[in-house]
Protein backbone atom coordinates (compact mmCIF):
# COMPACT_ATOMS: atom_id res chain seq x y z
CA UNK A 1 0.00 0.00 0.00
CA UNK A 2 1.25 3.49 -0.84
CA UNK A 3 1.68 6.12 1.84
CA UNK A 4 1.56 8.92 -0.73
CA UNK A 5 -1.57 11.05 -1.06
CA UNK A 6 -3.57 10.33 -4.19
CA UNK A 7 -3.60 13.86 -5.63
CA UNK A 8 -1.72 12.79 -8.79
CA UNK A 9 -2.77 10.37 -11.52
CA UNK A 10 0.63 8.87 -12.29
CA UNK A 11 1.79 6.70 -15.17
CA UNK A 12 3.13 3.31 -13.99
CA UNK A 13 6.75 4.06 -14.85
CA UNK A 14 9.66 5.28 -12.70
CA UNK A 15 12.69 6.93 -14.24
CA UNK A 16 15.99 6.38 -12.51
CA UNK A 17 18.42 8.21 -14.77
CA UNK A 18 18.46 11.02 -17.31
CA UNK A 19 20.88 12.52 -19.81
CA UNK A 20 20.03 15.28 -22.30
CA UNK A 21 16.80 14.43 -24.15
CA UNK A 22 16.73 10.86 -22.78
CA UNK A 23 15.31 9.22 -19.65
CA UNK A 24 15.84 5.61 -18.51
CA UNK A 25 13.40 3.52 -16.46
CA UNK A 26 14.10 0.85 -13.85
CA UNK A 27 14.42 -1.83 -16.54
CA UNK A 28 16.95 0.28 -18.45
CA UNK A 29 14.50 1.18 -21.22
CA UNK A 30 15.21 4.49 -23.03
CA UNK A 31 12.59 7.24 -23.58
CA UNK A 32 12.74 10.42 -25.65
CA UNK A 33 11.57 13.23 -23.36
CA UNK A 34 9.40 15.87 -25.05
CA UNK A 35 8.05 17.10 -21.69
CA UNK A 36 11.23 18.45 -20.06
CA UNK A 37 9.64 17.69 -16.69
CA UNK A 38 6.81 20.11 -17.65
CA UNK A 39 8.99 22.92 -19.08
CA UNK A 40 11.62 22.60 -16.33
CA UNK A 41 14.73 20.86 -17.68
CA UNK A 42 15.19 23.24 -20.61
CA UNK A 43 18.89 22.30 -20.92
CA UNK A 44 18.04 18.58 -20.93
CA UNK A 45 18.50 16.20 -18.02
CA UNK A 46 21.62 16.52 -15.85
CA UNK A 47 23.36 19.16 -17.97
CA UNK A 48 27.05 18.92 -16.93
CA UNK A 49 27.37 22.68 -16.28
CA UNK A 50 24.45 22.67 -13.84
CA UNK A 51 25.51 19.38 -12.24
CA UNK A 52 29.00 20.74 -11.66
CA UNK A 53 27.69 24.01 -10.22
CA UNK A 54 25.44 22.11 -7.79
CA UNK A 55 28.26 19.73 -6.78
CA UNK A 56 30.75 22.53 -6.14
CA UNK A 57 28.26 24.65 -4.19
CA UNK A 58 27.06 21.63 -2.15
CA UNK A 59 30.63 21.13 -0.98
CA UNK A 60 31.01 24.81 -0.08
CA UNK A 61 27.76 26.16 1.43
CA UNK A 62 24.13 25.10 0.96
CA UNK A 63 21.97 27.41 3.08
CA UNK A 64 22.31 30.37 5.39
CA UNK A 65 18.90 32.21 5.33
CA UNK A 66 17.83 35.63 4.17
CA UNK A 67 18.98 37.18 7.46
CA UNK A 68 22.36 37.54 5.73
CA UNK A 69 23.80 38.75 2.44
CA UNK A 70 23.76 36.11 -0.32
CA UNK A 71 26.18 37.07 -3.12
CA UNK A 72 24.67 34.45 -5.46
CA UNK A 73 21.31 36.27 -5.28
CA UNK A 74 22.97 39.54 -6.25
CA UNK A 75 24.61 37.87 -9.26
CA UNK A 76 21.43 36.17 -10.47
CA UNK A 77 19.29 39.28 -9.85
CA UNK A 78 21.73 41.39 -11.86
CA UNK A 79 21.60 38.92 -14.74
CA UNK A 80 17.80 38.59 -14.73
CA UNK A 81 17.33 42.37 -14.54
CA UNK A 82 19.77 42.93 -17.39
CA UNK A 83 17.92 40.31 -19.48
CA UNK A 84 14.39 41.55 -18.67
CA UNK A 85 14.81 45.31 -18.39
CA UNK A 86 13.39 45.21 -14.83
CA UNK A 87 15.22 46.49 -11.74
CA UNK A 88 14.72 44.23 -8.71
CA UNK A 89 14.27 40.52 -7.94
CA UNK A 90 12.77 38.48 -5.10
CA UNK A 91 13.53 34.74 -4.91
CA UNK A 92 11.20 31.97 -3.77
CA UNK A 93 10.75 28.28 -4.56
CA UNK A 94 7.99 27.76 -7.12
CA UNK A 95 5.78 29.35 -9.74
CA UNK A 96 2.79 29.68 -7.44
CA UNK A 97 4.96 31.42 -4.86
CA UNK A 98 6.37 33.78 -7.49
CA UNK A 99 2.78 34.70 -8.42
CA UNK A 100 1.82 35.06 -4.74
CA UNK A 101 4.65 37.56 -4.33
CA UNK A 102 3.51 39.38 -7.48
CA UNK A 103 -0.07 39.59 -6.20
CA UNK A 104 1.03 40.87 -2.79
CA UNK A 105 3.44 43.37 -4.36
CA UNK A 106 0.81 44.68 -6.80
CA UNK A 107 -1.74 45.14 -4.01
CA UNK A 108 0.71 46.83 -1.67
CA UNK A 109 2.12 49.16 -4.31
CA UNK A 110 -1.33 50.14 -5.59
CA UNK A 111 -2.78 50.76 -2.11
CA UNK A 112 0.18 52.97 -1.25
CA UNK A 113 -0.07 54.99 -4.46
CA UNK A 114 -3.86 55.15 -4.95
CA UNK A 115 -5.54 54.13 -1.66
CA UNK A 116 -7.00 51.10 0.16
CA UNK A 117 -9.76 50.57 -2.42
CA UNK A 118 -7.34 49.55 -5.19
CA UNK A 119 -6.64 45.78 -4.92
CA UNK A 120 -8.49 43.84 -7.62
CA UNK A 121 -6.55 41.85 -10.21
CA UNK A 122 -8.01 40.89 -13.59
CA UNK A 123 -7.06 37.48 -15.02
CA UNK A 124 -8.04 35.85 -18.32
CA UNK A 125 -10.18 32.87 -19.31
CA UNK A 126 -8.05 29.73 -19.87
CA UNK A 127 -5.37 31.04 -17.50
CA UNK A 128 -3.34 28.96 -15.07
CA UNK A 129 -1.43 30.65 -12.25
CA UNK A 130 -0.81 27.88 -9.69
CA UNK A 131 -2.33 25.80 -6.90
CA UNK A 132 -2.05 27.89 -3.74
CA UNK A 133 -5.31 29.40 -2.53
CA UNK A 134 -4.57 32.84 -4.01
CA UNK A 135 -3.23 31.58 -7.34
CA UNK A 136 -6.03 29.04 -7.72
CA UNK A 137 -8.47 31.91 -7.10
CA UNK A 138 -6.71 33.81 -9.89
CA UNK A 139 -7.18 30.76 -12.14
CA UNK A 140 -10.67 30.66 -13.71
CA UNK A 141 -11.06 26.87 -13.81
CA UNK A 142 -13.99 25.42 -11.78
CA UNK A 143 -12.23 22.02 -11.76
CA UNK A 144 -9.40 23.49 -9.67
CA UNK A 145 -11.81 25.24 -7.27
CA UNK A 146 -14.04 22.31 -6.33
CA UNK A 147 -14.01 21.66 -2.60
CA UNK A 148 -11.74 24.58 -1.75
CA UNK A 149 -14.26 27.38 -1.20
CA UNK A 150 -14.23 30.05 0.05
CA UNK A 151 -11.77 31.27 -2.56
CA UNK A 152 -9.62 34.36 -2.12
CA UNK A 153 -11.49 37.57 -3.04
CA UNK A 154 -9.92 40.24 -5.22
CA UNK A 155 -9.80 38.53 -8.61
CA UNK A 156 -12.05 38.94 -11.62
CA UNK A 157 -11.90 36.50 -14.55
CA UNK A 158 -12.36 38.17 -17.92
CA UNK A 159 -12.88 37.00 -21.53
CA UNK A 160 -9.83 37.24 -23.78
CA UNK A 161 -10.60 40.44 -25.65
CA UNK A 162 -9.66 44.06 -25.10
CA UNK A 163 -13.25 45.31 -24.94
CA UNK A 164 -14.11 42.86 -22.16
CA UNK A 165 -10.97 43.81 -20.26
CA UNK A 166 -11.68 47.51 -20.58
CA UNK A 167 -15.27 46.98 -19.42
CA UNK A 168 -14.03 45.03 -16.38
CA UNK A 169 -11.73 47.83 -15.19
CA UNK A 170 -13.11 49.75 -12.20
CA UNK A 171 -11.60 52.13 -9.61
CA UNK A 172 -10.66 49.07 -7.53
CA UNK A 173 -8.68 47.37 -10.32
CA UNK A 174 -4.94 47.41 -9.61
CA UNK A 175 -3.41 45.01 -12.13
CA UNK A 176 -3.87 42.66 -15.07
CA UNK A 177 -2.18 39.26 -14.69
CA UNK A 178 -1.66 37.04 -17.73
CA UNK A 179 0.55 34.45 -19.47
CA UNK A 180 1.88 35.52 -22.92
CA UNK A 181 1.22 31.93 -24.06
CA UNK A 182 -1.35 30.11 -21.94
CA UNK A 183 0.40 26.78 -21.39
CA UNK A 184 -1.82 24.61 -19.21
CA UNK A 185 -4.92 26.18 -20.78
CA UNK A 186 -4.14 24.57 -24.15
CA UNK A 187 -1.00 26.23 -25.60
CA UNK A 188 -2.89 29.42 -26.51
CA UNK A 189 -0.59 32.27 -27.59
CA UNK A 190 -1.89 35.81 -27.06
CA UNK A 191 -1.15 37.94 -30.12
CA UNK A 192 1.38 40.80 -29.97
CA UNK A 193 -1.49 43.18 -30.81
CA UNK A 194 -3.52 41.91 -27.86
CA UNK A 195 -0.54 42.17 -25.50
CA UNK A 196 0.21 45.71 -26.72
CA UNK A 197 -3.47 46.56 -26.23
CA UNK A 198 -3.34 45.27 -22.64
CA UNK A 199 -0.18 47.32 -22.01
CA UNK A 200 -2.02 50.43 -23.29
CA UNK A 201 -5.04 49.72 -21.08
CA UNK A 202 -2.73 49.41 -18.08
CA UNK A 203 -1.04 52.71 -18.92
CA UNK A 204 -4.36 54.52 -19.45
CA UNK A 205 -5.92 53.28 -16.20
CA UNK A 206 -2.91 53.25 -13.85
CA UNK A 207 -2.77 49.44 -13.64
CA UNK A 208 0.24 47.18 -13.30
CA UNK A 209 0.90 44.59 -15.99
CA UNK A 210 1.98 41.32 -14.35
CA UNK A 211 3.29 38.71 -16.76
CA UNK A 212 3.32 35.10 -15.57
CA UNK A 213 6.23 33.60 -17.54
CA UNK A 214 6.61 30.63 -15.22
CA UNK A 215 6.23 28.33 -18.23
CA UNK A 216 7.17 30.59 -21.16
CA UNK A 217 10.30 32.14 -19.62
CA UNK A 218 13.96 31.07 -19.82
CA UNK A 219 14.11 30.53 -23.57
CA UNK A 220 11.13 28.24 -23.99
CA UNK A 221 9.53 30.34 -26.76
CA UNK A 222 12.78 31.25 -28.56
CA UNK A 223 13.51 34.46 -26.66
CA UNK A 224 14.60 34.61 -23.03
CA UNK A 225 11.08 35.86 -22.18
CA UNK A 226 8.02 35.59 -24.44
CA UNK A 227 7.07 39.26 -23.87
CA UNK A 228 10.14 40.31 -25.85
CA UNK A 229 8.42 39.08 -29.03
CA UNK A 230 5.48 41.43 -28.44
CA UNK A 231 7.58 44.56 -27.91
CA UNK A 232 6.10 45.31 -24.48
CA UNK A 233 7.53 45.64 -20.96
CA UNK A 234 5.78 44.28 -17.85
CA UNK A 235 5.79 46.02 -14.47
CA UNK A 236 6.10 42.66 -12.71
CA UNK A 237 7.41 39.38 -14.17
CA UNK A 238 7.22 35.93 -12.57
CA UNK A 239 9.55 33.03 -13.37
CA UNK A 240 10.08 29.52 -12.06
CA UNK A 241 9.99 26.17 -13.90
CA UNK A 242 13.17 26.24 -16.07
CA UNK A 243 15.03 28.86 -14.04
CA UNK A 244 17.18 26.25 -12.21
CA UNK A 245 16.93 23.44 -14.80
CA UNK A 246 15.21 21.23 -12.19
CA UNK A 247 16.36 22.78 -8.92
CA UNK A 248 13.22 24.28 -7.29
CA UNK A 249 13.28 28.07 -7.65
CA UNK A 250 10.93 30.96 -8.41
CA UNK A 251 11.57 34.64 -9.01
CA UNK A 252 9.44 37.79 -9.00
CA UNK A 253 10.99 40.74 -10.86
CA UNK A 254 9.68 44.30 -10.82
CA UNK A 255 10.48 47.88 -11.74
CA UNK A 256 12.26 49.98 -9.12
CA UNK A 257 9.12 51.95 -8.36
CA UNK A 258 6.84 48.94 -7.87
CA UNK A 259 9.47 46.91 -5.99
CA UNK A 260 9.87 49.72 -3.47
CA UNK A 261 6.59 48.61 -1.81
CA UNK A 262 8.45 45.57 -0.41
CA UNK A 263 10.21 47.17 2.57
CA UNK A 264 12.02 45.03 5.21
CA UNK A 265 9.67 42.52 6.86
CA UNK A 266 6.83 42.79 4.32
CA UNK A 267 7.46 39.49 2.51
CA UNK A 268 9.86 36.58 2.73
CA UNK A 269 10.77 32.93 2.27
CA UNK A 270 13.00 30.69 4.39
CA UNK A 271 14.44 28.78 1.46
CA UNK A 272 14.17 31.50 -1.20
CA UNK A 273 17.43 31.97 -3.11
CA UNK A 274 19.83 29.76 -1.16
CA UNK A 275 23.48 29.70 -2.27
CA UNK A 276 22.91 26.17 -3.67
CA UNK A 277 19.91 27.19 -5.78
CA UNK A 278 21.53 30.41 -7.01
CA UNK A 279 24.56 28.43 -8.26
CA UNK A 280 22.25 26.24 -10.34
CA UNK A 281 20.39 29.27 -11.73
CA UNK A 282 23.56 31.10 -12.68
CA UNK A 283 24.89 28.01 -14.48
CA UNK A 284 21.55 27.61 -16.29
CA UNK A 285 21.47 31.22 -17.52
CA UNK A 286 25.14 31.15 -18.56
CA UNK A 287 24.67 27.89 -20.46
CA UNK A 288 21.75 29.31 -22.47
CA UNK A 289 24.07 32.12 -23.63
CA UNK A 290 27.20 30.02 -24.16
CA UNK A 291 25.43 27.33 -26.16
CA UNK A 292 23.29 29.72 -28.23
CA UNK A 293 20.14 27.96 -27.07
CA UNK A 294 17.71 30.80 -27.87
CA UNK A 295 18.58 30.52 -31.55
CA UNK A 296 18.39 26.74 -31.32
CA UNK A 297 14.93 26.97 -29.74
CA UNK A 298 13.78 29.14 -32.65
CA UNK A 299 15.18 26.78 -35.29
CA UNK A 300 14.10 23.53 -33.66
CA UNK A 301 10.73 25.06 -32.82
CA UNK A 302 10.17 25.87 -36.50
CA UNK A 303 11.20 22.36 -37.53
CA UNK A 304 8.87 20.84 -34.97
CA UNK A 305 5.96 23.06 -36.05
CA UNK A 306 6.51 22.17 -39.73
CA UNK A 307 6.60 18.45 -39.01
CA UNK A 308 3.45 18.73 -36.90
CA UNK A 309 1.77 20.70 -39.68
CA UNK A 310 2.61 17.76 -42.00
CA UNK A 311 0.78 15.41 -39.65
CA UNK A 312 -2.33 17.62 -39.84
CA UNK A 313 -2.58 16.80 -43.55
CA UNK A 314 -2.74 13.08 -42.83
CA UNK A 315 -4.93 12.92 -39.73
CA UNK A 316 -8.43 14.31 -39.77
CA UNK A 317 -8.59 14.23 -36.00
CA UNK A 318 -5.87 16.91 -35.79
CA UNK A 319 -7.14 20.42 -36.46
CA UNK A 320 -4.48 22.94 -35.49
CA UNK A 321 -0.83 23.42 -34.52
CA UNK A 322 -0.12 26.39 -32.30
CA UNK A 323 2.49 27.86 -29.97
CA UNK A 324 5.86 29.58 -30.06
CA UNK A 325 9.41 28.23 -30.13
CA UNK A 326 9.57 24.87 -28.36
CA UNK A 327 6.20 25.26 -26.66
CA UNK A 328 3.87 23.63 -29.18
CA UNK A 329 0.32 22.32 -29.04
CA UNK A 330 -1.65 20.13 -31.42
CA UNK A 331 -5.42 20.27 -31.14
CA UNK A 332 -7.38 17.01 -31.41
CA UNK A 333 -11.10 16.49 -31.98
CA UNK A 334 -11.16 14.05 -29.04
CA UNK A 335 -9.60 13.50 -25.62
CA UNK A 336 -5.82 13.38 -25.92
CA UNK A 337 -5.17 11.01 -22.97
CA UNK A 338 -5.09 7.75 -25.02
CA UNK A 339 -2.54 9.28 -27.43
CA UNK A 340 -0.31 10.41 -24.55
CA UNK A 341 -0.45 6.88 -23.06
CA UNK A 342 0.34 5.27 -26.43
CA UNK A 343 3.34 7.57 -26.94
CA UNK A 344 4.65 6.48 -23.53
CA UNK A 345 4.25 2.82 -24.61
CA UNK A 346 6.36 3.59 -27.65
CA UNK A 347 9.07 5.41 -25.70
CA UNK A 348 8.07 9.06 -26.28
CA UNK A 349 7.07 11.33 -23.39
CA UNK A 350 4.50 14.00 -24.28
CA UNK A 351 1.98 16.08 -22.31
CA UNK A 352 -1.60 17.17 -22.57
CA UNK A 353 -2.84 20.73 -22.05
CA UNK A 354 -6.52 20.78 -21.26
CA UNK A 355 -8.58 17.82 -22.42
CA UNK A 356 -7.96 17.86 -26.17
CA UNK A 357 -4.56 19.45 -26.78
CA UNK A 358 -1.30 17.57 -27.10
CA UNK A 359 1.58 19.62 -25.65
CA UNK A 360 5.19 19.18 -26.75
CA UNK A 361 8.03 20.70 -24.73
CA UNK A 362 11.39 19.28 -25.87
CA UNK A 363 14.48 20.73 -24.19
CA UNK A 364 16.08 23.73 -25.95
CA UNK A 365 19.06 21.44 -26.64
CA UNK A 366 16.94 19.12 -28.84
CA UNK A 367 18.53 18.11 -32.19
CA UNK A 368 16.98 17.66 -35.65
CA UNK A 369 17.44 13.91 -35.26
CA UNK A 370 15.50 13.95 -31.98
CA UNK A 371 12.68 15.94 -33.62
CA UNK A 372 12.66 13.42 -36.47
CA UNK A 373 12.47 10.49 -34.04
CA UNK A 374 9.83 12.21 -31.91
CA UNK A 375 7.59 12.83 -34.92
CA UNK A 376 8.08 9.24 -36.11
CA UNK A 377 7.00 7.88 -32.72
CA UNK A 378 4.09 10.32 -32.53
CA UNK A 379 2.88 9.24 -35.97
CA UNK A 380 3.16 5.59 -34.96
CA UNK A 381 1.10 6.34 -31.85
CA UNK A 382 -1.50 8.19 -33.95
CA UNK A 383 -1.77 5.19 -36.29
CA UNK A 384 -2.38 2.87 -33.36
CA UNK A 385 -4.98 4.95 -31.53
CA UNK A 386 -6.59 6.80 -34.43
CA UNK A 387 -7.47 5.74 -37.96
CA UNK A 388 -5.76 7.96 -40.55
CA UNK A 389 -7.66 9.67 -43.38
CA UNK A 390 -7.77 7.32 -46.40
CA UNK A 391 -5.18 8.46 -48.95
CA UNK A 392 -6.32 8.54 -52.60
Separation between Cα atoms, residue 379 and residue 374, nearest integer Å: 9
Q: Which of residues 240-259 bind ligand PLP (CB under 6 A)?
A: 240-241
DSSP annotation of 45 reads: B
333 is in an annotated binding site: no
**270 marked as binding residue:** yes
Q: Which of 108, 118, 241, 342 is flagged as catalytic? A: 241
Q: Does 214 count as an annotated binding residue?
A: yes
Give least dist CB 106 to ligand PLP, A: 15
Question: Which of 214, 239, 261, 280 lies at the binding interface for ligand PLP (CB under 6 A)?
Answer: 214
Choosing from 33, 120, 126, 184, the residue that interacts with ligand PLP (CB under 6 A) is 184
Is 316 annotated in the active site? no
Q: Pick from 100, 126, 179, 235: which binds ligand PLP (CB under 6 A)?
A: 179
Catalytically annotated residue among 90, 128, 194, 262: 128
Contact 212, 53 (CB under 8 A): no
Contact between residue 241 and residue 212 where contact means Cβ atoms under 8 Å apart? no
Residue 111 is among the residues annotated as catalytic for this protein: no
Q: Which one is catalytic: 33, 126, 212, 235?
A: 212
Kindly identify the residues of this chain, within the stretch 221-240, that bind ligand PLP according to CB under 6 A.
240
In the annotation, is 68 catalytic? Answer: no
- The DSSP annotation for 313-326 comes to HH-TTEEEEEEETT
Residue nearest ligand PLP, Cβ-based: 95
Q: Is 212 annotated for ligand binding?
A: yes
Instruction: Give the side-chain half-sphere CA count within 13 A for 245.
Output: 32
Q: State which of positions 92-151 bind ligand PLP (CB under 6 A).
A: 94-96, 99, 128-130
Nearest to 238 by CA among 282, 179, 184, 196: 179
Q: Closest approach of Cβ 253 to ligand PLP, in Å? A: 15
| Residue 236 and residue 110 in contact, taking contact as beta carbons nearer than 8 Å | no
Residue of 36, 215, 252, 274 that binds ligand PLP (CB under 6 A): 215
Please answer whether residues 94 and 100 qualify as being in contact, where contact means their C-beta atoms are separated by less than 8 angstroms. Answer: no
Beta carbon of residue 188, minimum distance to ligand PLP (angstroms, whole number): 12
Integer Cα distance of 344 and 126 in angstroms: 27
Strand ordering across the sheet containing 236-239: 88-92, 250-254, 236-239, 208-212, 173-178, 120-124, 155-158
Stretch that binds ligand PLP, among 16-24, 178-186, 287-295, 374-382 (CB under 6 A): 178-186
The site map against ligand PLP for 271-310 (x = CB under 6 A) is: ----------------------------------------
**Any known ligand binding at 29?**
no
List the interface residues with ligand PLP, window 9-38 (CB under 6 A): none
Torsion angle of the four alpha carbons 103, 249, 147, 104, in this order, in degrees rounded to the nearest 10? -10
Return d(Cα 188, Cα 105) in angstroms, integer.
Answer: 27
- Residue 13 assigned ligand-binding role: no
Which one, 183 or 301, has the nearer CB to ligand PLP? Answer: 183
Residue 95 labeled ligand binder: yes
In terms of phi and psi (left: phi > 0; alpha: psi -120 to 50; beta: otherwise), the region of 169 is beta
- The 10 Å Cβ neighbour count of residue 13 is 14
User: Quick one: DSSP state of residue 387?
Assistant: P
- Nearest approach, Cβ of residue 135 and ligand PLP (Å): 7
Residue 166 among known ligand-binding residues: no
Residue 55 vs residues 50, 51, 276, 293: alpha-carbon distances, Å: 9, 6, 9, 23
Number of H helices, E strands in the chain: 13, 17
User: Which residue's CB is nearer to ligand PLP, number 154 or number 338?
Assistant: 154
Q: Specify binding-site residues for N(2)-acetyl-L-ornithine.
A: 131, 269
Binding site residues, ligand PLP, CB under 6 A: 94-96, 99, 128-130, 179, 183-184, 212, 214-215, 240-241
Catalytic residues: 128, 212, 241
Q: Which residues are annotated as a binding site for pyridoxal 5'-phosphate?
A: 95-96, 128, 212-215, 270
Amino acid sequence: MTHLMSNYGRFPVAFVQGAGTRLYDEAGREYLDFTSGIAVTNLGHCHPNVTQAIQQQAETLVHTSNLFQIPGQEAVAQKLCQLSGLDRAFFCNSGAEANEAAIKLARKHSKEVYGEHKFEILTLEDAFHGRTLATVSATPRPKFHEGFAPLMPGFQHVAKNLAALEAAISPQTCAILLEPVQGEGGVLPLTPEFLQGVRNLCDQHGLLLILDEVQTGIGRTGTMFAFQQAGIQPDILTLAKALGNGIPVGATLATEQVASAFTPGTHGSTFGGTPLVMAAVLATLQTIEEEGLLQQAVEMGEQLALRLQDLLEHYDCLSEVRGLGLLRGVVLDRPVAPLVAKCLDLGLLVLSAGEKTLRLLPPLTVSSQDIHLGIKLLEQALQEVITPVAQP
